[in-house]
């Protein structure tokens, strides 16, 4: 068994196929400006991250969860003095995020075009169902995917369910994504292949030391298009 | 072809398998109390519904969408005078909703137990992915379902995708639910069977006149357990 036996390739979406994290960071900068009268930007960002982590189990991933955490953090940081027009500005930041155009990363359609028909292509993404479906439609990439899986989490059991659903053995499955924690580690542990393509920024929650990853089923590539070199 | 040829039965979840709408109405009553200084309950409820409908395309269904609309409505109704402690109270209402126990409707496990093994049972629900997965786990019903589909919408094209995914023909598919608009009408139009089991309350958005429904593939039953009588 080896790379030549792979049947299904799953792609993460946010920051693997299209830009995402920088939209969150941009929104965070706007938010820090709204909150500037209560706390310096560094403190605001730190509090926001803590509130997001506290709410993770209850809210999960995605823009709506982010918006609710922004509002909660504003109450906290202002010691309940935040003004209604500031809450309004925060809601407007979130609504703009939900309406953004999708910006594909370099060479994405070309890569999918080349793999299409040779492999079952799967999109395996975390986040909010409605928002991910909307982005996929806007992206024009829907036609390449055999199966779309929006997951509440990306741990071993979630991938195990996905493999069962796809009816594919781990050693014939490859996951491609920008997060070592979510896209690589659980798949390697299950016996599958994983390709890490670092994005220029990583959300603190997803950070991990790449040296922890040691497996002959693990590859690190500079950009998504290099994936083709693995199959040549 | 007839009822005896049905292979797959899909169930709506909220207000079909477990209570949901009354939790929303209870939250709405609590919200009207928080807002009592700005508007009478009737006006608050009316404004909330309009804000929810305006946000539907952007936010979709579910508790997080509801929370964001509650906050937006509070800004509107108070003419931007709502107090931070009131925003805090609104967030608390939503968080309690997300942590509620699941209350199954009468005879649900018994019904599923009797159908299990004879039909492919599917859960087809709208709403927030994380919240629906959490409710399904809490419900103890996961073991009965061959497939879980959380849908962003329940229109003809969504059911058409589901049927394709299940690889079942419409005339061998039955949908069971409490909403004529979401569970019955689109399935009848596709050529499938649909069973309506009215819940004692229906969200205004889902309301429809049952007399519009005329088909020999449509059944209206008083309670979920009566489904068995169709197959005897």
Task: Kindly state whether A80 is in contact with chain B, defined as any CB-CB distance less than 8 angstroms.
Answer: yes
* C-alpha torsion sign, points A190, B147, B200, B46: positive
Q: How confident is the model at residue A71 (pLDDT cuts 50, 70, 90)?
A: very high
Q: How confident is the model at residue A194 (pLDDT cuts 50, 70, 90)?
A: very high
The average confidence (pLDDT) of chain A is 94
Is residue B7's pLDDT more than 80? yes
Backbone angles phi, psi at B90, to 5 degrees: -65, -45
Task: Give the H or E element holding residue A41.
Answer: helix A41-59
Q: How confident is the model at residue A183 (pLDDT cuts 50, 70, 90)?
A: very high
| Domains assigned to chain A | 3-19+102-230 (3.40.50.1000), 21-98 (1.10.150.240)
**In the prediction, which pLDDT does B207 show?**
72
Alpha helix (H) residue ranges in B35-184: 41-59, 63-77, 84-98, 108-115, 129-139, 156-166
B78's tokens: 């108070």
**In the prediction, which pLDDT does A18 show?**
96
- pTM (two decimals): 0.91
Give how far Cα B195 sits from Cα of A124, B198, B205, B210, B221, Å: 33, 10, 19, 12, 7
Is residue B200's pLDDT more than 90? no
Is residue B155's pLDDT more than 80? yes
Q: What is the strand order of the sheet A147-151 is part of? A: A147-151, A120-126, A8-11, A173-177, A193-196, A218-220
Contact A58 B98 (CB under 8 A): yes
Task: Kindly state whether B72 is in contact with chain A, defined as any CB-CB distance less than 8 angstroms.
Answer: yes
Residue whose entry in the numeric block shows the structure tokens 């649900």: B108
What is the predicted ipTM?
0.90
Is residue B199's pLDDT more than 90? no
Question: What's the rounded Cα separation, in Å, for the pair A206 and A14?
Answer: 12
The residues pairing with B147 across neighbouring beta strands, listed in sequence order, are B122
Out of A58, A68, A129, closest to residue B150 by CB: A129
Q: Å from A84 to nearest chain B CA? A: 5
The average confidence (pLDDT) of chain B is 94
Task: Kindly state whether A142 is in contact with chain B, defined as any CB-CB distance less than 8 angstroms.
Answer: no
The residues pairing with A8 across neighbouring beta strands, listed in sequence order, are A120, A173
Task: Kindly state whether B85 is in contact with chain A, defined as any CB-CB distance less than 8 angstroms.
Answer: yes
Closest-CA residue of A relative to B100 is: A58
Length of chain B equals 232
Average of per-residue pLDDT across B83-91: 98
């Amino acid at each position: 068994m080896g790379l030549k036996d792979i049947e299904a390739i799953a792609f993460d979406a946010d920051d693997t196929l299209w830009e995402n994290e920088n939209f969150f960071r941009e929104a965070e900068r706007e938010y820090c400006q709204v909150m500037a009268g209560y706390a310096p930007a560094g403190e605001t960002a730190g509090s926001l991250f803590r509130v997001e982590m506290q709410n993770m189990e209850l809210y999960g991933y995605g823009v709506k969860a982010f918006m609710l955490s922004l509002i909660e953090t504003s109450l906290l940081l202002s010691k309940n003095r935040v003004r209604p027009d500031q809450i309004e500005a925060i809601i407007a930041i979130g609504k703009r995020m939900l309406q953004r155009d999708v910006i594909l990363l370099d060479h994405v359609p070309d890569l999918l075009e080349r793999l299409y028909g040779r492999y079952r292509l799967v999109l395996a993404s975390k986040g909010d169902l409605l928002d991910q479906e909307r982005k996929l439609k806007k992206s024009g990439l829907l036609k390449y995917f055999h199966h779309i899986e929006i997951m509440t989490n990306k741990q071993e059991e979630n991938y195990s369910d996905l493999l069962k659903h796809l009816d594919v053995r781990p050693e014939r499955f490859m996951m491609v994504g920008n997060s070592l924690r979510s896209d690589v580690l659980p798949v390697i542990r299950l016996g599958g292949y994983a390709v890490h393509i670092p994005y220029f920024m990583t959300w603190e929650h997803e950070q991990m030391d790449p040296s922890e990853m040691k497996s002959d089923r693990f590859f690190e590539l500079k950009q998504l298009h290099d994936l083709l070199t693995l199959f040549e």
